[in-house]
Structure 1
């Protein structure tokens, strides 16, 4: 189930009544951790790792059609119809088109252009407690599904507990299998500081020049360390919440974060719910 807040997406309206435990605040200081000091030297549990990789290979959300209005930029080279910008003709593709169109139009010429990323996504994963059981399955499903869907865009990964770490920045491509390996090598943690996780994610999105900048928060929303995360949520252009409901969870706070973050809210009870939910969240 995906809850469409205020029709399509949340409005960021602070005048609506708040729910959940978000008013709980503590004075505990959070810090951004360096990946090198964070990851354990030992390999993750072989059974857990094998399960996560099987899910990653099996799950993917459907690909979206290419956006012909993508902007020119400094990213990857792509073959596109001539739009009076580039004069770097892709001869092979142009010849293929001209064999079917004896009287060509200007736009039948295919050129090579560097494309700007159309969408940047920061995935924010709650690793507080133990990364085992259904929790690790849902994390694997989310990483795999987003990696498959964002093949033409950029994905960053933030892991959080009472602290947080940027495991992969937007400008660095990392395969889904390696992202999962990094998540599984983070030692089990206790408290959950959603506010600081959103702080790290917002800072990463602030560096982006993409037309669409999105954060996806995977958490049970049991916020028990740090300031109230709701005031920070409203600073996001688009913040979606995947709420893990297989154990203790705070649905009102999760819904508040999505509403204030101009996003959507989707409770997920198991890893098989993740891909359909992401299809709706990122439409």
Structure 2
């Protein structure tokens, strides 16, 4: 019905949808005539509506609305929606990442006061070896957790035309990575026909800056996985040494530019793949799924398929807990 309404009618219906709190109707209006909806919602009186939705955490529609209106919205309205979207991403990613991935290895050390963990088998062995008369401090073997500096490059597919989903996923997964691996070395690469290093592995960048860069970028172009993997290898090589080096590729696998990515995948010490859903599922077993499996096998890593985009951040956390 909204498609048959004129500009002024859609504006009026938008105001009514907000007044009644009907988000489905609001988003339906935005899909039918985004210009009319933008013209209505940019009015100052609607600022309180968005602020209340964000405060009550009933704001899941805001990121989608932001991507729908950002190209033609007045600066003040775009900035408001972008700030709210950024806040939603930060809040969501912090909830997902929790305390972050462990990233700590256990080392056996001699006893010291306040030691939280003990190696019981090794302690009993020392006790018996020393005559089993009484337990000495030198018999006790403990564990000490030490931060394990890892090098991880996150490679995100932002090709195609899925309205806002790819960029929202990129911003959310980047934020999750930043929270979970705050003490490690990380790099973030976005790719379509080309590959762009959003964050270098030796660069310190604030999470809010990374999110804003993603929210202001475009999800367009073809898919060149090989070029993206090459840039990932270059980033990992910038930090030489024996630290763990891992690549995490998030893509639907349906590349249509560049060479076969398997050659570049083999160059990684370890390359994991999160297979995100394609834009159109014509067959249960798509070409992209096959490619993602092959890339993970070539990179000696895990293959993690997801059915929905909102599963990707938690899949990333599960991967980070394993490396």
| Pairing of 1:86-101 with structure 2 (within 5 A) | none
Cα distance in structure 2, aligned partners of 1:51 and 1:269: 23
| Pairing of 1:1-283 with structure 2 (within 5 A) | 46=79, 47=81, 50-59=84-93, 60-62=96-98, 63-65=100-102, 67-68=104-105, 118-130=149-161, 132-208=163-239, 209=241, 211-245=243-277, 247-248=279-280, 250-282=288-320, 283=322
Change (3 A) 1:163 1:275: closer
Higher mean alpha-carbon deviation, 209-218 vs 157-166, is at 209-218
CA shift digits 1:187-236 (9 cap, x unpaired): 34311100000000011112223521111112121100011111110111
TM-score using structure 1 length: 0.63
Cα distance in structure 1, aligned partners of 2:105 and 2:224: 40
Change (3 A) 1:122 1:66: closer
Query: How many residue pairs were aligned?
Result: 211
Change (3 A) 1:57 1:206: same
Residue pair 1:117, 1:210 contacting (<8 A) in 2 also: no
Cα distance in structure 2, aligned partners of 1:193 and 1:65: 33
Cα RMSD, aligned residues only:
3.4
What's the offset of the Cα at 1:255? Answer: 1.2
Q: Identify the structure with the greater helix proportion.
A: 2
The alignment partner of 1:137 has SS state of helix
Change (3 A) 1:255 1:193: same
Runs of 4+ in 1 over 6 A off after TM superposition: none
Cα distance in structure 2, aligned partners of 1:252 and 1:49: 38
Change (3 A) 1:201 1:257: same
What's the offset of the Cα at 1:122? Answer: 0.7
Question: Unaligned 5+ residue runs, structure 1?
Answer: 1-39, 71-80, 84-93, 108-114
Higher mean alpha-carbon deviation, 249-258 vs 116-125, is at 116-125
TM-score using structure 2 length: 0.56
Cα distance in structure 1, aligned partners of 2:220 and 2:83: 18
What's the offset of the Cα at 1:69? Answer: 5.5
Tell which has more relative contact order, 1 or 2 (C-alpha 8 A, sep 6+).
1
What's the offset of the Cα at 1:97? Answer: 5.5
Question: Unaligned 5+ residue runs, structure 2?
Answer: 1-70, 116-135, 141-145, 281-285
Cα distance in structure 1, aligned partners of 2:87 and 2:275: 22
CA shift digits 1:134-172 (9 cap, x unpaired): 323322221121111102111111111111111211111
What's the offset of the Cα at 1:184? Answer: 2.6
Cα distance in structure 2, aligned partners of 1:163 and 1:171: 21
Higher mean alpha-carbon deviation, 273-282 vs 191-200, is at 273-282
Cα distance in structure 2, aligned partners of 1:220 and 1:192: 10
Residue pair 1:193, 1:224 contacting (<8 A) in 2 also: yes
Cα distance in structure 1, aligned partners of 2:78 and 2:300: 38
